[in-house]
Amino acid sequence: MNDTLPLVVEDLTFRYRDREEPSIRDISFTVSPGELLLLAGASGSGKTTLLRCINGLIPRSYKGEISGRILINGQDPSELSLARISQMVGTVLQDPERQILGSRVISEVAFGLENLGLPRPEIRERVDEALNHLKIAHLRDRETFSLSGGEKQKVALAGVLAMRPNILLLDEPLASLDPASAQEALQLVRELVDQGMSVLMIEHRVEDVLKIRPDRVMLMEEGTVRYLGPTEGLMKAVDYHTIKLPAPMIIERASRDPEPAEVRFSPANGAQPDRPLVAFQDVRFWYEEGVDVLKGVNLELNRGDVIAILGPNGAGKTTLVKHAIGLLKPKAGRVLVNGEDTRKLSVAQVANTLGYVFQSPSHMLFAPTVAEELAFGPKNLGHPAQVIEEEVKEALEIVNLTGRETDPPLALSFGQQKRVSIAAILAMHSRILVMDEPTAGQDYRNYMDFMDAIMQIPNFEAILFITHDVDLAVIYANRVLLVDTGQVIADGPPHEVLSDFDRLKASRLVPTSLLQTNLEWFSQTRRFMRAEALAHAINRHGEESPDGSSRS
């Protein structure tokens, strides 16, 4: 009977060649046709390794010791070619940069089909179908390098769907998507499941996935299955500090625990400068003549700012930030860093003031070991050797990677790579920290821990981060920029910018349960806070309703 199921996994154990302990051990489960299985768990718990075993990358691309059995549509994948496996099992990776090979969108989506030698008319039909399904037909002729992270994620998914597999593996598919695109992607997944496809989805944004009713949830811890069953049981099995649950669930459980310490940004000591740290003056920029990506941006970044930049995929958020760090120069207008025009400064000179964490770790990781990766920037900035050693140690502690000093960065999980890239910038001790999607690929505990630590680092005078995670802005920002179509359409305190739901919807942002709960109680609390702290604030105001009136 099991042999007719799309996927059977029995007693699966795998140890990477360069690791002492297995990454997964004794895993057994089956997946039925038309089933959605959510894989949840902390970064490094073995979720991605499990997918690599199923899609054949282990043991072909990742070497090590494997035992147990896998059957795909009743067949042993070890006896099949990767090309044959890819027709049955489609995979969308966490980092689309690793998956996209074609120079143009249409050639990328057609790539797998061409490798199968399908007739031209069928290739065209399947490409059109996949692009239309994902509502990205308008990107057909775009060059892939010019796409935003979220657009690349959709293109990677289109290339997989064009192969028409009956098993789909999704590794953090929402990581690069704006909230509205994430909802659309999830609805598409639900449709595929309802049509009979079997889907295994790794996702830290559990609250979002629960909305499309996964059939079962597998909770992994340290390479083993801690829980496998209906979503209702997950709530009892999970540690709410590790897996991000909807705000009401966290509030209900956190109210019985000690109140967390308050975390606030304390910028580096010193007098308030008489000018902005960074200033945009009527900045315009385009990649292609006549198609403005930035349209007359005026903006100031001041000491003490913790700025969250929100907006849809392709809005110009990353392009805006790359102007602040000098990687791009305005076509018109000026960007001033410490009062100096970036056209007259090298990227290295700007790096003394602004440290930038790229959206994709593969864009910045290159050293043979984690320790060398972290030491590279401080060395280039002329820091003394003994100081560098301390900076590297401190940065590793902040991102919870102590003990990984000798590991090759690119051999780590995507979430761990992301933390290495953040640590590399922390070690440089720039005055302003700039991060592009800092929480992508991170479990709840890791991203809260390192964001808390970053907020308390005395070296920084300001922090700027691009995010699609509205809750990150709710918890940490004291200023929110809403960017759309190359313009800053809103700039102000979080409770003002994020309370206009119509404007959020127009910018493809979706109010979260944490935002809504904070807004309900704002007249009492007078500030936004994380769910764990909000639980205790609500307890203190328990005799009043959220609007301040007596419950009696």
Q: What is the mean pLDDT of residues 408-433?
A: 86
Average pLDDT over residues 10-32: 94
SS3 of residue 490 by DSSP: strand
Could you tell me the domains of the chain? Answer: 2-222 (3.40.50.300), 278-500 (3.40.50.300)
Predicted local distance difference test score (pLDDT) of residue 548: 54
DSSP string over 234-282:
HHHHS-TTTS---HHHHHHHHTTSPPPPP----PPSSPPPSS-SEEEEE
SS (H, E, C) 125-173: HHHHHHHHHCCCHHHCCCEHHHCCHHHHHHHHHHHHHCCCCCEEEEECC
Mean pLDDT for the stretch of residues 429-437: 89
Residue 444 has pLDDT above 80, yes or no: yes
Contact 408, 427 (CB under 8 A): no
How confident is the model over 215-220, as a mean pLDDT?
A: 96
Enumerate the β-bridge partners of residue 301.
278
For residue range 89-130, list pLDDT tens digits in order: 999 887 777 778 888 999 999 998 998 889 999 999 999 999
CA-based nearest residue to 108, from 130, 135, 83: 130
The tens digit of pLDDT for each residue in 220-257 reads 999 999 999 999 888 788 888 888 888 998 999 999 99
| 86 in Cβ contact with 80 (< 8 Å) | no
Question: Which tens digits make up the pLDDT trace of 389-419?
Answer: 999 999 999 888 999 999 999 888 777 888 8
Could you identify the residue written with the tokens 């140890």?
Answer: 15
Show Cβ contacts of residue 403 under 8 Å, excluding neighbours closer than 6 positions: none
Average pLDDT, the chain: 90
Reported confidence tier of residue 551, pLDDT bands at 50, 70, 90? very low
User: What would the pLDDT profile of 152-178 be if each residue is shown by its tens digit?
Assistant: 888 988 999 899 899 999 998 887 788
- Residue 531 CA: distances (Å) to CA of 43, 122, 246, 513, 521: 21, 51, 9, 10, 12
Q: How does strand 462-466 pair with strand 89-92?
A: unpaired
Inter-residue contact 6 to 33 (CB < 8 Å): yes
